[in-house]
Amino acid sequence: MGLFILRRVGVMILTALCLTFVVFFLTNLPPNLEKLAKTQGEMRMTDAEVERWLANRGYSQPLVVKYGQWLGVLPGYVIDGTDGQLRGKCIPLGGTGEGAPTFCGVLQGDWGRSQVFKQPVLDVVSTRLSLTGILMFWVMAVMVPTALIVGILAGMREGSRLDRSLSSFSILTTATPEYVSGVVFISVFSSTTMGLKWFNGSAASAMDGATFNNFTLPVLTIALYGMGYIARMTRASMAEVMTAQYIRTARLKGVSFRNIVVKHALRNALIAPFTVIMLQFPWLLNGVVIVETLFNYKGFGWTLVQAAGNNDIELLLGVSVVSVFVVLITQLISDIGYVYLNPRISVK
Amino acid sequence: MEALTWGGIFARILTQLLPVWIALIATFALSITYKRRLGLYGKLFDSPIGMIGFGIVMFWVFTGLFGGLFDLITTHDVLEQSARMKNKLPGTAFVASNGKMPEGAYPYYLLGGDNLGRDVWSRMIVGAWEVIKIAPFATLFAFMVGITLGLPAGYHGSRLDTGLSFVANLILAFPVILLFYLLVTPEIVATGIPRYMAGVLFLFPIIFLVVLINSRFHTQPPKRNLYAAIALAIGGWLYLGIAWDADPFGIIAFPPNLLVVFVSVVFVNSPTVFRIVRGLTMDIKTRDYVAAAQTRGEGTWYIMLWEILPNARGPLIVDFCLRIGYTTILLGTLGFFGLGLSPESPDWGSTINDGRRLLQVYLHPALAPALSLLSLVLGLNLLADGLREESLKD
């Protein structure tokens, strides 16, 4: 087991390195750097000025060197600029370079500075991530139990009317992307035209304090899309378990249907959905981006849109590192959990 | 002129859709009559769920074709703005910007006007065409890529499998929206990276076809050469035209921003297809008929493409339907974030994004495309469910 986890962690780190390098490569392409120089410096810079501006700030170094510096395995650049100012990756703005560390990258905990928010990336990411964490918590709290109940109820009597209606419901939710359900929810529950106005159509106030009023619609919007998939997996798994030999034996012994479901079928039926729930995280991340944009909730997904839209390189890298790690860690947990839950599988 | 009542709107929509009804009835009548001779497609008409799904999907296919291609169902030009029709409710009588009702124009905005005074109904119809012309082909390309790589990975295993699976997992670990934001920006398009990606990805269908033909007919060289030459000529022509915009005859032109959208959607979808095909191959290669083919001394590509692939078709067809739905959702996401497609574009995602700003007051501009997208994806899901049920029966 230890070796298995070790190998998975190794693959995970390799994946994270590859992915951040891809992001690094794409954000550091010449047109992107030129745009950066023009938005940071001046709109009407000539090509030669752009080049100088970039060279002074260390952007003209080879890609691999820049990546190494960002990662913190190569010493940060120190450039005596053509405009007479000394700049270094590890030197604070306007500093002299005295006593500055040689290495400052992600590994040393220095994630750079966000150009859009004018704050250290680590601060931006952590505050935004905690806001999204609250959202995710409520999404999970709504989605997982509902999905499991719907799936189990549908799967315990396959082909019944209850199964048909619950299955149609889950198909409907998987066919409704967040930007559709969000729009429908806002127009039904919060617009002046329909006159219901039960909930708040914007979640901007939820950043200070989430209430039932301003948080219901965003949570419901994300939860619904993911729910259908988990419910269908649970249903399939439950339906399979219900045809197993030991269920028939229990039935012939005269165990009540309720006890069969609760005591015999449930635990075995929940192994497959567990993996699916864990693998839903990357999907939820997508939903979070859409919903936070739609409901104006300034969390992690909203930050991603801001960073990508403004080519805020360091922030974009920070955001992708975090999201890639969220995806990879949930995959790892789902693998390990699967082994623990399912006694039939053993890892050499 | 008076505004229409809801009943009037409904009646006019039904008449406007007349070509679609005729086409739908013809399709269903023909299919049901000959359903015993049509294989899996015919069996679809035994399952009510499958029939409903197929009906919804074909409704949008015909609507897209007639509306987008032949201009039959639309009532106004999708870009034509009228200052007097801004945010007007469904059924409002049409008045041009100069306050007059132009000669020969359709007298109503059936589903109202959007924030620029464009006709919501016509935009919704043409939006269907935007989806119909991209989603199935993007999915097909993703399948070709996934199958061409997934079959050898599953069949041979070992290093090839490890490497390809690692790359597939790499792409899958990327949040889709981040990938879109990185790929579909004007700056990246300027570097030509999407074009190179298209150059690589669009080679796979040609490779797939040529290998398919070669493995089948390599014992009959004249036949093989003829078929392979035809496939190469047509494939190469399309390839040059679509991927490199260098069609020697100048017939095929592919708008560059559409190419970027197409490529990124194919890129996002192919790793999942790869994993499915790989899994199916690993399962099927242990069967007896594969062992029999190996004993006969058949080539590996023949076994993969003519023994394993046809036997994996059930799950693949089902996944194909689901994946078109997923691609539709992805296209909507791209439009929703204003990526790739032009801002005036009538596709559903962009229209939803335009309409959501005034959603608290005016519902119709966002609700019409939202419900259309919902119904199309729902139809595809139901169709996939029906196909799954029917294919499991034998």
A348 has pLDDT over 60: no
Q: Are the beta carbons of A290 and B336 separated by less than 8 Å?
A: yes
Phi/psi for A87 (5° steps) reads -125, 140
> B176 contacts in A (CB within 8 Å)?
286
User: Which residues of chain A are within 8 Å of residue B182 when distances are taken between CB atoms?
Assistant: 23, 26-27, 308
Determine how β-strand A119-120 pairs with β-strand B92-93: unpaired
Distance (Å) from the C-alpha of residue B328 to the closest C-alpha of chain A?
Answer: 10
Smallest CA–CA distance, residue A101 to chain B, in Å, is: 32
Confidence label for A146 from pLDDT (cuts 50, 70 and 90): very high
What is the CB neighbour count within 10 angstroms for residue B8?
A: 14
Here the ipTM equals 0.85
Chain A touched by B392 (CB under 8 Å): no
Q: pLDDT tens digits, residue range B259-317?
A: 888 889 999 999 999 999 998 998 888 899 999 999 998 888 999 999 999 988 888 98
With bands split at pLDDT 50, 70 and 90, how would you rate the model's confidence at A150?
Answer: very high
pLDDT digits (tens, 9 = 90+) for A86-138: 777 777 766 666 667 777 777 887 788 888 888 888 888 899 889 888 888 89
**Mean pLDDT of all residues in B49-62:** 92
- B372 vs chain A: nearest CA distance in angstroms? 10
Question: Other CB atoms closer than 10 Å to residue B169's CB: what's the count?
Answer: 16
Residues 17-36 of A with CB under 8 A from B: 18-19, 22-23, 26-27, 29-32, 35
| pLDDT the model gives residue A96 | 66
| Minimal CA separation from A172 to chain B, in Å | 6
Rounded Cα distance, A303 and A293, in Å: 10
Crossing angle of the two packed helices A271-294 and B313-336, in degrees rounded to 10: 20
Nearest residue of A to residue B183 by CA position?
Answer: A26
Most A CBs within 10 Å, among B120, B172, B329, B351, to test the A interface: B329
Which residues of chain A does B362 touch, with a Cβ-Cβ cutoff of 8 Å?
Answer: 193
A80 forms beta bridges with: A86
Max mean pLDDT range (A4-8, A31-35, A222-226, B375-379): B375-379
pLDDT in tens, A19-53: 889 888 888 888 888 888 887 777 777 888 888 88
- Do A174 and B367 count as a contact with CB atoms less than 8 A apart? no
Please state, as a whole number, how many other Cβ atoms lie within 10 Å of the Cβ of residue B294.
13
Q: Which of A81-90, B200-209, B365-374 has the lowest mean pLDDT?
A: A81-90
To the nearest whole percent, how much of chain B has pLDDT over 90? Answer: 26
For the record, the structure tokens of B175 come out as 């949040």
pLDDT grade for B110, boundaries at 50, 70 and 90: confident
CB B392 within 8 A of CB B315: no
The alpha-carbon gap from B301 to the nearest alpha carbon of chain A, in Å, equals 31
Report helix, strand or coil for B238. helix
Cβ within 8 Å, pair B337-A293: yes
Exposure letters B93-119 (e unless 16+ CB within 10 A, then b)? ebbbeeeeeeeebbebbbbbbbebbbb
Residues of chain A numbered 132-191 and touching chain B (CB < 8 Å):
171-172, 174-177, 179-180, 183-184, 186-187, 190-191
Q: Which residues of A touch B193 (CB under 8 A)?
A: 26, 29
pLDDT at B53: 92
CA distance B290 to chain A (A): 27
Best residue in A23, A38, A183 to probe B by mutation, most B CBs within 10 Å? A183
Plot region of B199 (φ>0 → left; ψ -120 to 50 → alpha; else → beta): alpha
The answer for B 174-233 residues in CB contact with A (under 8 A) is 174-178, 181-183, 185, 187-188, 190-191, 193
Q: Which of A31, A286, A319 is the closest to B176 by Cβ?
A: A286
Dihedrals phi, psi of A296, to nearest 5 degrees:
55, 45
Partnered with residue A114 across adjacent β-strands are A119
Q: Per-residue confidence at B238, pLDDT binned at 50, 70, 90?
A: confident
pLDDT of residue A235 exceeding 70: yes
**What's the confidence (pLDDT) of residue A188?**
83
Q: Residue B372's beta-bridge partner residues?
A: none
Q: Which amino acid is at A346?
A: S
Interface residue B50 vs chain A (CB under 8 A):
no
Q: Classify residue A212 by burial, with Cβ atoms within 10 Å: 0-12, 13-18, 19+.
A: exposed
Summarised one tens digit per residue, pLDDT across range A158-186 is: 888 898 899 889 989 988 888 899 888 88
Tell me the average pLDDT across B60-68: 89
Q: How far is B309 from B138, CA to CA, in rounded Å?
A: 20
User: How much is the average pLDDT of A238-243?
Assistant: 87
For chain B, say whether A201 makes contact (Cβ under 8 Å). Answer: yes
pLDDT at A347 over 60: no
Residues 6+ apart with CB under 8 A from A92: A100
Nearest-angstrom CA–CA distance, A71 and A111: 9
